[in-house]
Amino acid sequence: MHLFHHPLVRVVAATLAALLLTLAAATAGPVGQLVITDARGDRGMLAPYIHGKNGIGYLYTTYVFDSLLSQKKDGDVTPALAKRWTISRNGLICDIYIDLRAHWHDGEPVTAEDAAFTFSYMQEHPYVFADVRNVKEAKVLSHDHLRLQLKKPDAGLLTGMLLSMPVLPKHVYADVAEPQRFAEPEAVIGSGPYKLADYNKAQGRYVLEANADYYLGTPKFKRIAIVKMATDAALRAAKADEIDIISYLPPERLEQAKESGLNVVKAFSNHSVRLGFNHAGRFGSKDLRHAIAYAINRPALISTAYQDTADVADTGFFQEASPWHSDDVHPPYAFSPRKAADLLTAQGWARAEDQLWYIDGEQVVLRVLASKRETKAAKVLAEQLETFGIKLDVRIMERAALQDSLSEGNYDLALYASSTLGDPNGILRRVFGKKWASDRYSGKKLRALADAQSVATSRQQRQDILNEFQEVYSQELPAYAIANPYMVTAYNDKLSSLEFMPGGVAIGVPSALHKSYLVD
């Protein structure tokens, strides 16, 4: 857009000249600036309704918009816009007291009115990262006192809704009828530690400026720039001190980052890659699911397909780093072709002389769907199962086509990855939901446990139920967790000792860039 401030002709001439003459342009950032690189770039404007509908878009938006609660570095909830809160014994009434030191980026004070407004506004205009449908009424009792009345108790009230819902300024959003189309500069007036000063969609570049009046501390940097840069370029730029953070460094590049003088933090992503089964088809049978699990050699698959970039996943859904992970050991389904064969035989499958499996005289061919990212894993999986005698029809699909085929039930097995982080209520979507990366399971026993944990009245009770959930999950095997890939963030000395947020940031974004690292 800015290009045409100058006549096109000039640029054309300059380009032709530059064909002959190329010089390196020196760039030096001002002091107090932090540059974060993002390999993909544009995540949309950083306002709740218009940011990219993915974890990263959400994460960046949390720098601009505060929620009622935030997280400590160990993942536990801590006060943010709500300086304290109480929950009634029946779990239906929640009193919230607003921190009156907080101000919107335009100087207006944050009050209980704003919070109450947000609950009702999000009922009317759904914001997909915060579910407020359980709120019956949000009543303003005084300037700083808000009372929430819930329809039913919610064990995830704090770690789910209150932590993930960005509070909107009433004076801005009250008149906005279509927030999905509201991309004016006022749309990004939040109460977070940084203000969005510039956003260039085409270049995928954000410039955030410190909110000097931030109520929870002093922002560490005057400016934070988030720029689109491929890994190679980012590593070079880090060496030249032009950038400070590579937000998601491919784990296989870890050593290279260290050589470039960067610190690295490596952790499990807990975005487990799972082998899903078509429960509506032949894999409605638990024994068949077990048979497939025994026929797969996970450590071998991981060392071939992922090398050092993943480890064997826990079969009980939650992964080891999760605060909700149970201490019990879940069956690993260690590779055992004999056990697999026994289970299949019991189900009426027969192995012929050619060592292949047949049902009623017909050779078994299973259709496996996978996205491009899971190509290698799908290929190794196919090799393993074919060695065992089950032929696979592997289809690597573009994401839209994949989602379509999965929701149409046009498959036997599928490889997909989804987060296991965030409030445990996520299992309702990730195990029982209809979306493509869900296990699409409908077993009653497991469902009852998932429902029970969502209304548990104490953390201990919830943990106990979730322990049982993990036990049953690992036995029922709605999906067979294969790999837990690592994630790496590389950073220089402008920041110290970054850690991936245990349990994920807010809604469950695996990230080492929680906003608390950016505030003193």
Partner 1 sequence: MVPPILINLLSGLSVRLLVFFLLVLLVFFLPRLLPGDPVAIFLSSDLSRDLSGSEAEELRSQFGVAGGWLQQLGEYLSNLVVGDLGYSVPHAAPVSQLLKAAIPWTLLLIACAAPLFLIAGAAGGIEAGKAPGALFDRVATGTVTVIASIPPFTAAVLLLLAFGILWPVLPAGGAEPLFPSDNPLQRDFDVARHAVLPVLALSLHEVSRFYFLARGEAITLSQRPFIINACGRGIKGWRLRTAYYGRSLFPVFLARMSDSLTGLFGAVLFVEIVFSYPGTGHLIYNAILDRDYVLLQGAVIVMAGLVLLLNWIIDAVATSLARRG
Per CB under 8 A, which of residues 37..56 are in contact with partner 1?
A: 44-45, 49-50, 52-55
CA angle 24, 239, 202 (to 5 degrees): 60
Q: How far is the CB of 368 from partner 1 (least distance, A)?
A: 17
Of 22-30, 71-79, 288-296, 344-352, the window that binds partner 1 (rule: CB under 8 A) is 22-30
Residues 6+ apart with CB under 8 A from 228: 37, 38, 39, 40, 41, 42, 203, 204, 205
Q: Could you say which of 170, 195, 228, 253 contacts partner 1 (CB under 8 A)?
A: 228
* In the complex, least distance from residue 416 CB atom to partner 1, rounded to whole angstroms: 9
SS3 213: coil
Is residue 423 involved in binding partner 1 (CB under 8 A)? Answer: no
Burial of 367 (0-12, 13-18, 19+ CB in 10 A): middle
Q: Which CB, 14 or 329, lies closer to partner 1?
A: 14
Contact flag: residue 162 with partner 1 (CB under 8 A) = no
Sign for the CA dihedral angle at 233, 239, 242, 246 comes to: positive
Under rule CB under 8 A, residue 403 binds partner 1? yes
Question: What number of chain residues touch partner 1 (CB under 8 A)?
Answer: 77
Quote the least distance from Cβ 163 to partner 1, whole Å. Answer: 13
**With respect to partner 1, which residue has the nearer C-beta, 5 or 89?**
5
> Which value, to the nearest 10 degrees, does the dihedral of the CA atoms of residues 242, 244, 248, 253 take?
70
Alpha-carbon gap, residue 146 to 115, rounded angstroms: 8
HSE-CB at 206 with a 13 A cutoff on CA atoms is: 26
Does 31 contact partner 1 by CB under 8 A? Answer: no
Written as six digits, the tokens of 437 are: 């990366």
Task: Reduce the DSSP state of residue 34 to 3 states and report it.
Answer: strand
Q: What is the DSSP letter of 408?
A: T
Q: Does 227 bind partner 1 (CB under 8 A)?
A: yes
Tell which positions 339-368 bind partner 1, by CB under 8 A.
none
β-strand partners of 140: 146
Q: Percent helix, strand and coil across the chain, each rounded to 5?
A: 35, 25, 40
- 418 counts as binding partner 1 under rule CB under 8 A: yes
Assess 430 for contact with partner 1 (CB under 8 A): yes
Restricted to residues 454-513, the positions that interact with partner 1 (CB under 8 A) are: 507-509
Segment interacting with partner 1 (CB under 8 A) among 121-129, 141-149, 312-320, 443-451:
121-129
Q: Residues 436 to 455: which contact partner 1 by CB under 8 A?
A: 436-438
CB-CB contact of 233 with 41 (8 Å):
no
Q: Which residue has the tokens 């019991």?
A: 346
Residue 238 binds to partner 1 (criterion: CB under 8 A): no
Closest CA to 169 of 148, 190, 193: 190
Question: Does residue 205 belong to the site contacting partner 1 (CB under 8 A)?
Answer: yes
Under rule CB under 8 A, residue 396 binds partner 1: no
Query: Going residue by residue from 239 to 268, which x/- string records binding to partner 1, judged by CB under 8 A?
Result: ---xx-------------------------
Does residue 58 touch partner 1 according to CB under 8 A?
A: yes
233 interacts with partner 1 by CB under 8 A? yes
Q: How far is the CB of 401 from partner 1 (least distance, A)?
A: 4
Q: Tokens 């203000």 identify what position?
A: 195
**Relative orientation angle of helices 337-346 and 286-295, to the nearest 10 degrees:** 150
Q: Pull the structure tokens for residue 160.
A: 């789910």
* Residues 165-194 close enough to bind partner 1 by CB under 8 A: 180-181, 183
CB of 508 to partner 1, least distance (A): 6
Q: Which is nearer to partner 1, 71 or 419 (CB)?
A: 419
